[in-house]
Amino acid sequence: MSDRECTVVLYSDDPQVRDRMRLAVGTRPAPGLQLEFVEASSYAEVVRLVDDYEIDLLLLDGEATPGGGIGIARQIKDDRADAPPTCVVIARAADRWLA
């Protein structure tokens, strides 16, 4: 049986945050699943990747500036009927209710 390959967008304006997200998930998070990560550092890059490629998951930094992950997630969900599943990483405990 071959591995299922999925593409994950890592979005943050901070390269260190993208690295930490990649390390937290890992390239093989489950048996039979292989992940490929593509990076974006701006809202426009996220939209381009979603438009041009088959994306299986958006992993967005809620603390990114100027476009935060929550706003980007909402905009993509509003604009696309086929929006990929989305996870927004938040750092502040006070922001949990937003998730």
For the CA atoms of 25, 1, 86, 94, the dihedral, rounded to the nearest 10 degrees, stands at: -40
DSSP 8-state secondary structure symbol assigned to residue 40: E
Peptide bond between residue 66 and the one before it cis (omega within 30 degrees of 0): yes
For residue 15, pLDDT beyond 90: yes
Radius of gyration of the chain (CA): 13
Provide the pLDDT for residue 91: 78
In the structure, what pLDDT confidence band is assigned to residue 14 with cuts at 50, 70 and 90?
very high
**Distance in angstroms between the alpha carbons of the first and the last residue of the chain:** 36
pTM of the model: 0.88
Separation between Cα atoms, residue 49 and residue 94, nearest integer Å: 30
Instruction: Express each pLDDT in 17-47 by its tens digit.
Output: 999 999 999 989 889 999 999 999 999 999 9
For residue 1, pLDDT beyond 60: no
Instruction: Express each pLDDT in 41-91 by its tens digit.
Output: 999 999 999 999 999 999 999 999 999 999 999 999 999 999 999 999 987
